[in-house]
Amino acid sequence: MNRKTLLNQLKSLLESETNFITNMANTAAFLKQEHGYFWVGFYSVIKDELLLGPFQGPIACTRINKGKGVCGKTWETMDSYLVPDVDKFPGHIACNSFSRSEVVVPLVYKGKCIGVLDADSDKLDDFTAADVTYLQDVVEILINSSEIIE
Ligand code: SME
């Protein structure tokens, strides 16, 4: 299925619900189901840490500090990261040793990073720039469909 169709499906999936945690949960399930990512899920900014949120895949690290790992860097810089080889990313946090490449995109709401979406593959160099754009679109749909409590 093409990406545009998938994004429309996600919009339909989320349109009847506004709870942010519920929508993160179904978004993670949708991404796992449609793309078979090794691990896919969310970390939310809670106080001064990223805290593990809804995800699909193996057990993961629960707390990440700002600037640490790919997720903490994404939070700090509010940029998306495409990491073709996790072993070459300084400070990469290996929650699971099978993870070889990953994409992390920030969840930005009213100019602030409120969390990140992380997709991991067990294959090297498994993501393209088009995947980053797609996951950014996924995050935009999620934020626009949800009530964010500040
Ligand atoms: N690899 C991430 C940590 C999260 S897990 O991959 C689920 C990082 O370096 O921030």
pLDDT tens digits, one per residue of 56-111: 999 999 999 999 999 999 999 999 999 999 999 999 999 999 999 999 999 999 99
Q: Tell me, what DSSP letter sits at residue 131?
A: H
Instruction: State in Å: Cα 16 to ligand 1 middle.
Output: 31
Q: Convert the pLDDT of each residue in 28-70 to its tens digit.
A: 999 999 999 999 999 999 999 999 999 999 999 999 999 999 9
Distances (CA, A) of 73 to 29, 76, 91, 92: 25, 5, 10, 10
Per-residue confidence at 150, pLDDT binned at 50, 70, 90? confident
Q: Residue count of the chain, please give it.
A: 150
64 close to 50: Cβ distance less than 8 angstroms: yes
Looking at residue 98, the DSSP 8-state letter turns out to be T
Q: Residue 139 above 90 pLDDT?
A: yes
pTM, whole model, 2 decimals? Answer: 0.97
Given the CA of residue 39, which atom of ligand 1 is nearest to it?
A: 7
Packing angle, helices 3-14 and 129-145, rounded to 10: 20
